Amino acid sequence: MGFNGSEPSAPAPTPVPALATALKIAVVGPLGVGKTTLVTSVSEISPLTTEETMTREGARIDVLGHRSTKTTTTVAMDFGRISLGESIVLYLFGTPGQERFWFLWDGLVDGALGAVVLVDVRRLEESFDVLERLERRGSAFIVAANGFPEAPVYPVETLRQALDLPDGVPVLNFDARSRADCRRVLIALTEYLLALSRLPRADQDDQAAREQVRSSQG
C-alpha cells in the first residue's frame, strides 16, 4: 500500500506520517433539513465547523436581486469524519443549498465523491435549484427525504416524479437521527457511484449529455 511519494532517503526528525486516502461527500439541502443531524449521526467525531469568508466585491450574496453593499459574508459548513479501515477517511460536509452559497461549491462538490441531496417533503421546491445545479455540473448525487415526525411519507416514485429526477438516481426515505438510516444513505450513494463507475465511458458521457438536455429544457 504505497501511501505517499515522499522519499525515505533523508532522516526526518519525526517519522513520516502515513497519510490515508481522503474522500469527501457533500450533504446539500436547505436550512433546517437535517444536514448537521445526518453528519452527527454517522461521524466518529463531534461535528466541526469550517468557515469561509467571502469578501469579493460585488459578489451576489442576496436573494432578491438587489446587490447588497455588504462586503463580507461568512458561511459555515459543519462536517464530520468516518474512518473506513486504516487507509480511507471519509469526510461529510453539510452545505447550504441556496444559490448565494454556490461559491462554496467550488471547493466542495468539485472533487467530491458524490452528493446527498436532503429534501423535506413539505418544501420540495426549495431543492429544485440544487438538483438542477448538480445535474448541470454532471455531479453524481442521490436524494434522501428526511422523515420529520409531523411530515407525510411519500413513496419514492412519487418523490422522483415531483422532483423530476432522471431514472436511476436513487431516492430514499430516511430519518437523519438514525445512525443506521444514515449509513443506509451512504451505502446507497456508494452503490450508485459504483454502478456509474462501471458504465462504459461512452455511456457516462451519454448520461451527462441527457442530463444536460433535461436541465436546459427545465
Partner 1 sequence: MTRARPMPELDDQDARDLARIYVITGGRVGPSGRTTIDLVTLVGAMAAESAGRAPEHRAILRMCRTPLSAAELSAHLRLPFSATAVLIDDLLSAGLVITRAPRTQVLPDPELLQEVLRGLQRL
Task: Provide, rounded to whole angstroms, the least separation between the CB of residue 13 and partner 1.
Answer: 5
Q: Which is nearer to partner 1, 165 or 186 (CB)?
A: 186
- 184 to 203, contacts with partner 1 by CB under 8 A? 186-187, 190-191, 193-194, 196-198
Query: What residues contact 131, with CB distance under 8 A and at least 6 apart?
Result: 117, 141, 143, 163, 164, 165
Q: Which is nearer to partner 1, 91 or 174 (CB)?
A: 91
Q: Which is nearer to partner 1, 66 or 157 (CB)?
A: 66
CB 201, CB 173: distance < 8 Å: no
**Total residues interacting with partner 1, rule: CB under 8 A:** 60
Q: Which of 38, 18, 20, 19 is nearest to 28 (CA)?
A: 38
- 115 to 174, contacts with partner 1 by CB under 8 A? 138, 140
| Candidate residues 62, 89, 121, 178; the one interacting with partner 1 per rule CB under 8 A | 89
| Candidate residues 30, 34, 43, 93; the one interacting with partner 1 per rule CB under 8 A | 93
Stretch touching partner 1 by CB under 8 A, among 22-30, 122-130, 148-156, 168-176: 22-30
CA 162 vs CA 11, 18, 123, 149, 208: distances in Å: 61, 47, 11, 21, 21
Question: Cα 162 vs. chain centroid, distance in angstroms?
Answer: 21
- For strand 73-84 and strand 21-29, is the pairing parallel, antiparallel, or unpaired? unpaired
- 32 to 71, contacts with partner 1 by CB under 8 A? 42, 48-53, 55-56, 68-71
Task: Provide, rounded to whole angstroms, the least separation between the CB of residue 49 and partner 1.
Answer: 6
Alpha helices in the chain (DSSP H): 35-42, 105-108, 128-137, 156-163, 179-198, 201-217
CB 107, CB 99: distance < 8 Å: no
> For residue 171, which amino acid is it?
V
Interface with partner 1 (CB under 8 A): 3-4, 6, 12-14, 16-24, 42, 48-53, 55-56, 68-72, 74, 77, 79, 81-82, 84-85, 87-91, 93, 107-108, 110-111, 113, 138, 140, 183, 186-187, 190-191, 193-194, 196-198, 204
